[in-house]
């Protein structure tokens, strides 16, 4: 396997791991949401780069266009982006409510308060 090879997949995997790490390692609830977003976006990049056909253009039905990228993953990802936006909005709304209820958005401080209760 030559090294750069399919470097787009390497990028997707690196982004994925960065996002995953942030979700696991950070205590700040907003940062967790950011990590989750990076994680999701890496999957979107993965889908989009998978659809690329070498030498292909945009998938438009017109004379002279013979090779074109696979449009299906694009469509799928449009849906997945909507899902991700909804998830982020809901997560942030929950963070606002958590901040009102606990006065903090640090996971360890919240846990401290929960243990006292």
Partner 1 sequence: MIAAHLPALQVVIPLMAAPLCVLLRRPVLAWALTLAVSWVVLAIAVALLLQVLETGPVTYPLGNWAAPWGIEYRVDLAGAFVLVIVAAIGAVVTPYARRSVEHEIPRDRIYLFYAMYLLCLTGLLGIAITGDAFNLFVFLEITSLSSYVLISLGSERRALTAAYRYLIMGTLGATFYLIGVAMMYMMTGTLNMADLATLMPAVADTRTILVALAFLTVGISLKLALFPLHLWLPNAYTYAPSVVTAFLAATGTKVAVYILIRIFFTIFGGVEVFRINLIGDVLMGLAILAMVSGSAVAIYQNNVKRMLAYSSVAQIGYMVLGISFATVTGLTGGIVHLFNHALIKCALFMALGCVFMRIGSVNIRDMAGLGRRMPVTMASFVVSGLSLIGVPLTVGFVSKWYLVQAALEKGWWPIAVLVLLSSLLAVIYIWRVVEVAYFRPAPEGGPAPAEAPLSMLVPMWLLTGASVYFGIDATRTLEVAGGAAAFLLRATP
User: Should residue 46 be labelled a site residue for partner 1 when binding is judged by CB under 8 A?
Assistant: yes
Binding partner 1 by CB under 8 A: which of 21, 52, 71, 97?
Answer: 97
Q: Between 47 and 68, whose beta carbon lies closer to partner 1?
A: 47
Token look-up 């090294």 returns 3
Residue pair 95/105 in contact (Cβ under 8 Å)? The answer is yes
21: enclosing H helix or E strand: helix 7-25
Q: Between 57 and 113, whose beta carbon lies closer to partner 1?
A: 113
Binding partner 1 by CB under 8 A: which of 79, 108, 115, 116?
Answer: 79
Binding partner 1 by CB under 8 A: which of 25, 65, 78, 86?
Answer: 86
Extract the tokens encoding 51: 């659809």
49: Cβ–Cβ under 8 A, 6 or more apart, which residues? 8, 9, 12
User: Should residue 80 be labelled a site residue for partner 1 when binding is judged by CB under 8 A?
Assistant: yes
């Amino acid at each position: 396997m030559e090294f750069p090879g399919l470097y787009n997949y390497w990028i997707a995997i690196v982004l994925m791991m960065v996002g995953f790490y942030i979700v696991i390692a950070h205590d700040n609830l907003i940062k967790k949401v950011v990590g989750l977003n990076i994680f999701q976006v890496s999957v979107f990049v993965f889908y989009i780069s998978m659809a690329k056909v070498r030498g292909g253009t945009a998938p438009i039905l017109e004379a002279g266009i013979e090779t074109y990228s696979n449009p299906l993953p694009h469509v799928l990802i449009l849906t997945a982006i909507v899902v991700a936006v909804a998830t982020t909005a809901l997560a942030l709304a929950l963070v606002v409510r958590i901040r009102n209820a606990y006065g903090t958005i640090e996971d360890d401080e919240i846990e401290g308060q929960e243990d006292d209760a």
